């Protein structure tokens, strides 16, 4: 057994764990990051790709925004499509100039891994059997196996950034953990297509066959999603069926259509809303997907992980600079305000745009009336815009 020491032990090298390690390093705070998967796996894992204004600013301030600014696609609006009509939500005009950036989450992950390795800071991939212990004491421990050898890190704090299927949330004592959850009666089938995006902006479509989303990754790659059944199998979705459903659900009276091309990736993502309260116990803190999940309709997943890390890095920095523990004591309460705002927005966008096959004709009409109001009234569009670009941080 090798015994080592660090200030902050971080489990998981997704956006949450990597950003925390980076922000702490800028403050001269040591950390080790332990990741179960390989570097290639995490760098190629395709996830969502919409960064809020606050996320863009934070990555730039942290010095890891160069490639995002060069290769990301800034967007000043999104569109809602229903009854064959497109309705533009002018994000910038409605929010005093704020905007979003389309830049894949795995690209953010690549940038953060590159920064950490370039600084020769500890980041281990392929780590097995990670355990957390003694976080009720002032010397919590992180244990793991790496390349056949057992390791034990004695830390000041542990950050559980290990995603929804990680081990840290389950380590919280039952008395510290209440779970709030909704599982939706549908999933998203996502495809990556080798074809230039046919629109400069994202299009969220509500159709009687189900929801569809037109998005993009780069000037050469289109990203598309279709609402499907939660227990669907990719085998049920040959390419012809995918294109025919996209054709129906994205049809417009103005003749717009996505460009067709080779499908280079296909996957099905389940949809759930999930929050774990609290997000801390003793010296163990959860952040990102380890503590909460949103359905992807509001594009909030990575932005919420970034928000948690902003609070956690500030709280840890205050503690190391001045011994002030206030930020750490209030970490969970502070994060949860923004988390529940995003949970509401993501649930609401999901409910407004998807087809619920058990809805009565009355409920279908009500849903359409809501979509109509929020697309055409300035007040409605402003509510969507300010949530979509992300409400400014006030603390
Ligand atoms: N030991 C070490 N690493 C682990 C363990 C474990 N036991 N369990 C999980 N991990 C790793 C995963 O392999 C993953 O790389 O933790 C990482 C968690 O990263 P993410 O799942 O990307 O979660 P997070 O960093 O919180 O980012 C949230 O990810 O799922 C999307 O939509 C979500 O955009 C949001 C973002
Ligand atoms: C994506 O491009 O993957 C994407 C965009 C917007 C969303 C969800 C996913 O709401």
Any residues with CB less than 8 A from the CB of 274 and at least 6 apart, and which? Answer: 164, 179, 180, 181, 182, 292, 293
Distance between start and end Cα atoms, the chain: 43
Other CB atoms closer than 10 Å to residue 1's CB: what's the count? Answer: 7
- Of 296, 347, 350, 389, best ligand 2 pocket probe by most atoms within 8 Å of the beta carbon: 296
- Of 39, 55, 166, best ligand 1 pocket probe by most atoms within 8 Å of the beta carbon: 166
162 lines ligand 1 (CB under 6 A): yes
pLDDT value at residue 80: 98
Whether 185-272+358-389 and 2-75+99-180+273-348 are alike in CATH topology: the answer is no
- 3-class DSSP state of 45: coil
Using left for φ > 0, alpha for ψ between -120 and 50, and beta otherwise, residue 147 falls in: left
pLDDT (tens place) for every residue of the chain, 395 residues total: 999 999 999 999 999 999 999 999 999 999 999 999 999 999 999 888 899 999 999 999 999 999 999 999 999 999 999 999 999 999 999 999 999 999 999 999 999 999 999 999 999 999 999 999 999 999 999 999 999 999 999 999 999 999 999 999 999 999 999 999 999 999 999 999 999 999 999 999 999 999 999 999 999 999 999 999 999 999 999 999 999 999 999 999 999 999 999 999 999 999 999 999 999 999 999 999 999 999 999 999 999 999 999 999 999 999 999 999 999 999 999 999 999 999 999 999 999 999 999 999 999 999 999 999 999 999 999 999 999 999 988 88
Q: Is 75 a catalytic residue?
A: yes
Strands 149-154 and 2-5: parallel
Q: Is 106 a catalytic residue?
A: no
Distance 31 CA to ligand 2 centre (A): 31
Which parts of 236-353 are beta strand (E)? Answer: 262-277, 280-281, 284-286, 292-293
Catalytic option among 15, 197, 258, 296: 296
Give residues (CB < 6 A) around ligand 2.
Answer: 48-50, 202, 215, 223, 296-297, 299
Nearest CA to ligand 1 atom 36: 302
User: Are 23 and 309 contacting, i.e. CB atoms less than 8 angstroms apart?
Assistant: yes
- CA 218 to CA 393: how far, in whole Å? 29
> Pick from 258, 228, 241: which is nearest to 79 by CA?
258
DSSP state of 63: T
Distance 271 CA to ligand 2 centre (A): 13
Strands 284-286 and 157-160: parallel
CATH of region 2-75+99-180+273-348: 3.50.50.60
Distance 314 CA to ligand 2 centre (A): 29
DSSP state of 290: G
User: Are 268 and 188 contacting, i.e. CB atoms less than 8 angstroms apart?
Assistant: yes
pLDDT value at residue 251: 98
Q: Which residues, listed in sequence order, are joined to residue 226 by a DSSP beta bridge? A: 189, 212
Output phi, psi for 91, to 5 deg: -55, -45
Distance 374 CA to ligand 2 centre (A): 20
Map out the domains of the chain as residue ranges. 2-75+99-180+273-348, 185-272+358-389
pLDDT value at residue 46: 85
Distances (CA, A) of 31 to 28, 149, 286, 325, 353: 10, 20, 16, 19, 42
Q: Is the peptide bond before 278 cis (omega within 30 degrees of 0)?
A: yes
The arrangement of strands across the sheet holding 221-228 comes to: 85-89, 78-82, 202-205, 212-218, 221-228, 178-194, 262-277, 292-293
- Of 45, 48, 227, 348, best ligand 2 pocket probe by most atoms within 8 Å of the beta carbon: 48
Helix, strand, coil percentages for the chain (3-state, nearest 5): 40, 30, 30
**DSSP output for 119-169:** TT--EE-S-EEEEEE-TTSSS-EEEEEETTEEEEEE-SEEEE---TT-SHH
Strands 202-205 and 73-75: unpaired
CATH of region 185-272+358-389: 3.30.9.10
User: Are 16 and 289 contacting, i.e. CB atoms less than 8 angstroms apart?
Assistant: yes
The answer to whether the pTM exceeds 0.75 is yes
Catalytic option among 204, 225, 319, 331: 204
Nearest CA to ligand 1 atom 8: 166
User: Are 355 and 208 contacting, i.e. CB atoms less than 8 angstroms apart?
Assistant: yes
DSSP state of 302: H
- 3-class DSSP state of 188: strand
- CA 46 to CA 103: how far, in whole Å? 11
Q: Is 225 a catalytic residue?
A: no
Atom of ligand 2 nearest to the CA of 299: 10
- CA 140 to CA 283: how far, in whole Å? 7
């Amino acid at each position: 057994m090798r015994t080592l020491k660090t200030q902050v032990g971080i489990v998981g090298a997704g956006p949450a764990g990597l950003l925390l390690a980076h922000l702490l390093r800028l403050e001269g705070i040591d950390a080790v990051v332990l990741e179960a998967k390989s570097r290639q796996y995490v760098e190629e894992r395709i996830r969502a790709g919409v960064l809020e204004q606050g996320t863009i600013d934070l990555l730039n301030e942290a010095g890891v925004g160069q490639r995002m600014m060069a290769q990301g696609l800034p967007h000043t609006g999104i569109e809602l499509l229903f009854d064959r009509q497109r309705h533009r939500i002018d994000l910038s005009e409605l929010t005093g100039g704020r905007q979003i950036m389309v830049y894949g989450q795995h690209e953010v992950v690549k940038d953060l891994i590159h920064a950490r390795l370039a600084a020769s800071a500890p980041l281990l991939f392929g780590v097995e059997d990670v355990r957390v212990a003694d976080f009720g004491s002032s010397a919590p421990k992180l244990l793991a196996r790496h390349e056949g050898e057992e390791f034990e890190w004695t830390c000041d704090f542990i950050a559980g950034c290990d995603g929804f299927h990680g081990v840290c949330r389950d380590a919280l004592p039952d008395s510290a953990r209440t779970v709030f959850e909704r599982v939706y009666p549908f999933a998203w089938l996502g495809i990556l297509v080798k074809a230039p995006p046919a629109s400069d902006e994202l299009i969220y479509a509500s159709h009687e066959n189900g929801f569809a989303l037109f998005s993009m990754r780069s000037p050469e790659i289109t990203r598309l999603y279709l609402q499907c059944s939660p227990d669907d199998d990719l085998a049920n979705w040959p390419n012809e069926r995918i294109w025919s459903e996209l054709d129906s659900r994205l049809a417009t009276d103005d003749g717009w259509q996505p460009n067709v091309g080779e499908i280079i990736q296909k996957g099905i993502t389940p949809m759930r809303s999930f929050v774990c309260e609290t997000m801390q116990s003793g010296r163990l803190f959860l952040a990102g997907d380890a503590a909460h999940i949103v359905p992807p309709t509001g594009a909030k997943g990575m932005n919420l992980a970034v928000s948690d890390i902003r609070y956690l890095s500030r709280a840890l920095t205050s503690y190391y600079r001045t011994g002030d523990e206030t930020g750490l004591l209030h970490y969970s309460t502070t994060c949860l305000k923004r988390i529940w705002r995003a949970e509401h927005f993501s649930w609401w966008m999901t409910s407004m745009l998807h087809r619920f096959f058990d809805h009565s004709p009355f409920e279908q009409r009500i849903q359409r009336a809501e979509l109509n109001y929020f697309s055409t009234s300035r007040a409605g569009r402003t509510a969507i815009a300010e949530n979509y670009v992300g409400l400014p941080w006030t603390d």
